[in-house]
Structure formats: structure tokens, C-alpha cells
Amino acid sequence: MNKYSISIRPFGIHAILLEWPGRVDVAILEDILQFTQYLKECCLKNERWEIVPAYNSVTLIHREEPIDFKEIETKLLNWYKEDIKIVKRQKIVWRLPVCYDENFGIDLNEISQKSEKNIKEIIGLHTSHVYTVFGIGFLPGFTYLGGVPEELQFNRREEPRAKVLRGAVGLAGKQTGIYPQESPGGWNIIGNCPIPMFDPKAEEPCFVSVGDQVQFFKITRAEFDLYKIESEVGIYKLEKTVLDA
Amino acid sequence: MLKVLKSGLFTAVHDIGRYGYLNKGVPVAGFMDGFSAKKANQLLGNDAHAAVLEITMTGPTLMFEDETYISMGGALLYATLNNEPIANYEVIKVKKGDILSYGKLEKGFRNYLAIKGGVKAPLVLGSQSFFSSVTKKNHLDDGDELEYDACSHFEPKISKLKVDSFLDEINLEVSQGPEYGNLSDRQLERLFGKKFSISNENNRMAYQLEEKIEGLQISMITSATLPGTIQLTPSGKLIILMKDGQTTGGYPRILQLSDKAISVLAQKKYGDEVCFKLNSQ
């Protein structure tokens, strides 16, 4: 542990921002998640902090009272120096179905032209990689998935669409992700996932956590319709593998 | 039951907001002007965090189907109970069948109607605050009904409070945001030297300001944002995230509003002016 030099800055009077080196890097994310788990389990046990990890940062927010920045900064630096390798974190690899039907994959043709690859090859590339959840934000349950192969890296659309479907699977730069609800959006849409990424009625409203991994698999339109119904009535079984980090 | 005869422009249920789901991308939501809402609640002996109606600009027409006590706070919005004018920050007894209606907005933007014991909307993820994609509704419609507990007798500790003066406040108290250090002297001079006016792009998610400043061309990796975070875009637009604002963002977070400043800004509408005052932290 203590592999990185971290910076700590105030973020208003209720929050504190910890930053790791400014790179998108799985090793940095792992270090952040190990540390935040250590904070939750050992250091801030009975305190009401909300902890928001994303890419190369963690924000700690204390809504109730203003925080004493200097005091918490010192504590955090000391905790980070401690040997916290003992903390075991489970990582889950979720397998999510995507229908790349042309009705859903409205930007597939454009991506195909730009990449000089046929649609089958694009789907093959998108489903053969395993993506890491670097952050959750923008919308409830919107996951920023990193690890997109270079051949599939395209800029966001020049003009964002006013309406992107719920479940739309998009590509933007080094990232891919699923729109958890209908919303405006600028990502290149290549398919749709029938499994809701955010369900306020569920015990765990968003099953994915930062640090988990996602792999997509291709389904037909018929399977899409079936899985959609199955997940609506609560009988769809999510495929997952648990790994020890 | 509270019957919504006419819903007004944008009337919604709000409490203190949603805690504990920021890491899943769920915004805080909750009262935009927490100071006024809490005061209205306190007059009724409610928990300061109890759910109230947040009434924006044009008020609803409401019918009370059970007797209770109410109080209003925040924006000065002309209101009548059975055609008799009533004022903010007063405890008012309401009988079965009474009709509360609103008229002209005089000052501010958001009025809070508190009911003895709190409004009872479904609790979703620990809060009754309306937020689309989490709760069924994000605002009330004509004909909606809301539950509350009937109350026939209540002796308030204080029956009247002096009306807030902060509706006239134009100073927004801010502290440095994480990327404050990237600002040039020129940008700082503009930020703290002149007034800004509220653009017509303003809602519960964010307030944009009309005047641009020199933009910041730094590359940022997406990271957390909070209610009250002021982002500066590369084009020089200033965006102030509010209670329904997104939980992460990729624009530099140059300033952070204080809790009071969030309440002050929540009472501003299109064309109103504000200026920033840096809190020496």
C-alpha cells in the first residue's frame, strides 16, 4: 500500500476530496477501493460519511455538520499510510445481455464506416472485452465502463440527441455504458440492454458497484423481449462471477 | 387528505433529501431552500426535515379534507385560505373543506407549505422527496391526493416568525472548489468583481448564469459534484449545480456555495442578479 502520492483538498465545508494521480488506471482504482473499504470498515465506522469513488478520486461528504478540514486531512493521510493489505474486497463480474438489433444500434452503421469494420466485427469486439466500472453518476445507475478497445474508441456525437432510450448501450471515447433511463445523450448508440440498471423498488437499487466488471453478450430481439419481461416480473437471473480482488 | 384541485406551475413534495445513494448516481434532491422549509416546519413543531410542498412561482389550489394546522415559508406568494389572505411564517388553523389558493408572486421564487405532522408521500430510498426515475412523480398534477394526519388541537410555541430578509440577499457565500487553483487573476477578478444574472436555464438540477467568463481549458477526469458546486465550462459558462444536480461531472469545480447560499439562490429566478463573496476559509 501507499504506492501513490495522494492530494487532499477541501470541497466546500461538508466535503473533502482525495485525488490519486490523474490517470484512468485499474491499479489506481483498486488502490482507491481498498482504501475506501478500509475507511468504511475500520476508520469511519459509526460516522455518517457518504463516500463517492470515481476514476482517480474519492469524495467524502458529511452532510450533517461542517467538517474540520485540517483534522480529517491529517487522519486520512495517516490512515492511508497504514498497511491495509489485509482488507479483502470481492469483485463481481456481471454478464449483461445486449441486443445489437439495427432498431437499437442506431449508430452501428456510422461506427462501422468510421472503423472500417463490419457490424459483426464491432459486436465481436464489444462483447469480447471485459470492462471495469470506474464510476457511477450522471443518472442514477449510469456506469462509466472503461477498457474499450482502441478500434471502438470514437468521440461523442457532435450534437447530443434529445432522447436516448432506456437501456441504450453507448460508446464514447475510452468508455462504454448503459443509459439507465430515457434521457438526452451524446454517446454513440450500438445496442440495448433489457436489464434495468437502476430499480428504486429493489433492495439494492443499483446492483453494480464501482470496481466491479461488466462483460456484454449478444442476444436476439426475441431474447431481448423475453429478458425484459423476465426482469420486469423479477425472475431474470443475472449472470455473475465473484472474484477475490 | 390534501386534494390538489389545481397543481400550479411546479408543486412537489420535498423533505431533507436522499442520503446514502450518491455512489449509485442518485442526487440528494430535497428542499431547494432548506432554510425556509425548516422554519415553516419548526413553527408547527414538526421535525425540521419533515416533508413539505415546494411551490414554484405559480401556486396550486388545494383542498384540506381533514382539519389541521399549516404554515408557509420562503417566497412571498400571495395566498388565501377561503379567500382570506394569509401570511408566511404564521401558524394557521385549517378546517375540513378549506381551500388554499395562491395568487401573485411578490418576491423570491419558491414557497414552502408545511402541514402539521408533515406531508405523507411514499418513502423511496429513505426519502419522500420527488425525483424522476426514483419516485413515480416529479411534480403534483391536478386531482392528486396527499395524505396527512388530522390534527384538531395544537398549541404552537411560537405562532409567528419575522419574515426572512434573505429574499433580498444578492450575495452568494462561496468557498474554494477543488479546481479553484486553476483560475487566473483575470478570471478571479471577473468572478468577484461584478454581478451575474440568472439565465432562463434554471431549475432544480442547475442554475446557469447569463454572463460568461474566460473558460478553463483543463482536462479533467470525471469526479464527484455536490449541490452548490459551481462548474466552469471550456466555453466560459458558469453552471451552479443544485439539489437534483448530477452526482459526478467532468468540468472544473471552481467554487462551492455554502448551505445558506444554496437557499439564497433557490429563491432567484430568470433575470435576478447575484454576486459571489469568497469565504476566507
Question: Tens digit of pLDDT for each residue in B7-26?
Answer: 999 999 999 999 999 999 99
Inspect the interface and report whether the beta carbons of B248 and A140 lie closer than 8 Å: no
CA neighbours closer than 13 Å in the CB half-sphere of residue A20: 25
Extract the C-alpha cell encoding B256.
Answer: 462551492
Number of Cβ within a 10 Å radius of residue B87:
13
126-155 of B, contacting A, C-beta below 8 A = 133-135
Q: Using one digit for the tens of pLDDT, what is the confidence trace for B211-239?
A: 999 999 888 899 999 999 999 999 999 99
Q: Which amino acid is at B191?
A: L
Chain A CA closest to residue B49:
A64
Mutation site for A-interface testing, chosen from B134, B175, B247 by largest number of A Cβ within 10 Å: B247
Instruction: Please say whether the dihedral angle defined by the alpha carbons of residues B143, B146, B151 and B157, taken in this order, is positive or negative.
Output: negative
Evaluate if residue B205 carries a pLDDT over 60. yes
Q: Using one digit for the tens of pLDDT, what is the confidence trace for A184-199?
A: 899 999 999 999 999 9
pLDDT (0 to 100) of residue B281: 54
pLDDT (0 to 100) of residue B161: 83
Cβ neighbours of residue A243 closer than 8 Å, sequence gap 6 or more = A90, A91, A92, A93
Inspect the interface and report whether the beta carbons of A55 and B223 lie closer than 8 Å: yes
Whether chain A has a CB inside 8 Å of the CB on B217: the answer is: no
How many interchain CB pairs under 8 A, A with B? 122
Q: Which residues of B touch A138 (CB under 8 A)?
A: 25, 246-248
Evaluate if residue B77 carries a pLDDT over 70. yes
Number of Cβ within a 10 Å radius of residue A41:
11
Evaluate if residue A2 carries a pLDDT over 60. no
Evaluate if residue B165 carries a pLDDT over 90. no
Question: d(Cα A131, Cα A144) in Å, to the nearest integer?
Answer: 9
Inspect the interface and report whether the beta carbons of A140 and B223 lie closer than 8 Å: no
pLDDT (0 to 100) of residue B157: 86
- Which has the closest alpha carbon to A216: A197, A235, A243? A197
Extract the C-alpha cell encoding B240.
Answer: 451552479
Mutation site for B-interface testing, chosen from A52, A132, A133 by largest number of B Cβ within 10 Å: A52
Chain A CA closest to residue B178:
A11
Inspect the interface and report whether the beta carbons of A57 and B221 lie closer than 8 Å: yes
Beta strands in B31-122 (DSSP E): 52-56, 61-64, 68-81, 84-86, 92-94, 99-115
* CA-to-CA separations, B32 to A58, B29, B117, B226, B243, in angstroms, rounded: 26, 8, 20, 13, 6
Evaluate if residue B164 carries a pLDDT over 80. no
Nearest to B25 among A50, A59, A140 (CB): A140
Extract the C-alpha cell encoding A26.
Answer: 485499474
Q: Using one digit for the tens of pLDDT, what is the confidence trace for A136-147?
A: 998 999 999 999
Interaxial angle between packed helices B34-43 and B259-266, expressed in degrees from 0 to 180 and rounded to the nearest 10 = 90
Cβ neighbours of residue B163 closer than 8 Å, sequence gap 6 or more = B76, B87, B88, B89
Mutation site for A-interface testing, chosen from B15, B222, B230 by largest number of A Cβ within 10 Å: B222
Evaluate if residue A86 carries a pLDDT over 80. no
Whether chain A has a CB inside 8 Å of the CB on B68: the answer is: no
pTM for the full model? 0.93
Evaluate if residue A88 carries a pLDDT over 80. no
Share of chain B above pLDDT 90, in %: 92
Question: d(Cα B267, Cα B31) in Å, to the nearest integer?
Answer: 11
* pLDDT band at A87; cut points 50, 70, 90: low
Q: Using one digit for the tens of pLDDT, what is the confidence trace for B93-108?
A: 999 999 999 999 999 9
Q: Using one digit for the tens of pLDDT, what is the confidence trace for A28-75?
A: 999 999 999 999 888 887 788 999 999 999 999 998 788 999 999 999
pLDDT (0 to 100) of residue A245: 55
Q: Which residues of A touch B221 (CB under 8 A)?
A: 22-24, 54-57
Inspect the interface and report whether the beta carbons of A10 and B175 lie closer than 8 Å: yes
Query: B93 to chain A, minimum CA–CA distance in Å?
Result: 32
Q: Which residues of B touch A13 (CB under 8 A)?
A: 175, 256, 258-259, 281
Nearest to B125 among A9, A200, A210 (CB): A200
Question: d(Cα A50, Cα B278) in Å, to the nearest integer?
Answer: 26
* pLDDT band at B57; cut points 50, 70, 90: very high
Q: Which residues of A touch B28 (CB under 8 A)?
A: 63
Mutation site for B-interface testing, chosen from A23, A39, A136 by largest number of B Cβ within 10 Å: A136
Whether chain A has a CB inside 8 Å of the CB on B30: the answer is: no
Helix/strand/coil for B97: coil
Please check whether residue B226 is in contact with residue A11, taking contact to mean a CB–CB distance below 8 angstroms. yes
* pLDDT band at A91; cut points 50, 70, 90: confident
Inspect the interface and report whether the beta carbons of A55 and B221 lie closer than 8 Å: yes
* pLDDT band at A82; cut points 50, 70, 90: confident
Question: d(Cα A139, Cα A159) in Å, to the nearest integer?
Answer: 19
Q: Using one digit for the tens of pLDDT, what is the confidence trace for A129-181?
A: 999 999 999 899 999 999 999 999 998 888 889 999 999 999 999 999 999 99
Q: Using one digit for the tens of pLDDT, what is the confidence trace for B120-162?
A: 999 999 999 999 989 999 999 999 999 999 999 998 888 888 8
**Chain A residues whose C-beta sits inside 8 Å of any chain B C-beta:** 9-15, 17, 19, 22-24, 48, 50-57, 59, 61, 63, 69, 134-142, 144, 180-181, 198, 200, 205-206, 209-210
Whether chain A has a CB inside 8 Å of the CB on B72: the answer is: no
What is the average per-residue pLDDT within B175-203? Answer: 95
- Which has the closest alpha carbon to A58: A88, A44, A46, A66? A44
Mean pLDDT of chain A: 92
- Which has the closest alpha carbon to A29: A50, A8, A58? A58
pLDDT (0 to 100) of residue A1: 52
pLDDT (0 to 100) of residue A44: 86
pLDDT (0 to 100) of residue A131: 97
Least confident of A33-42, A95-104, B251-260: A33-42
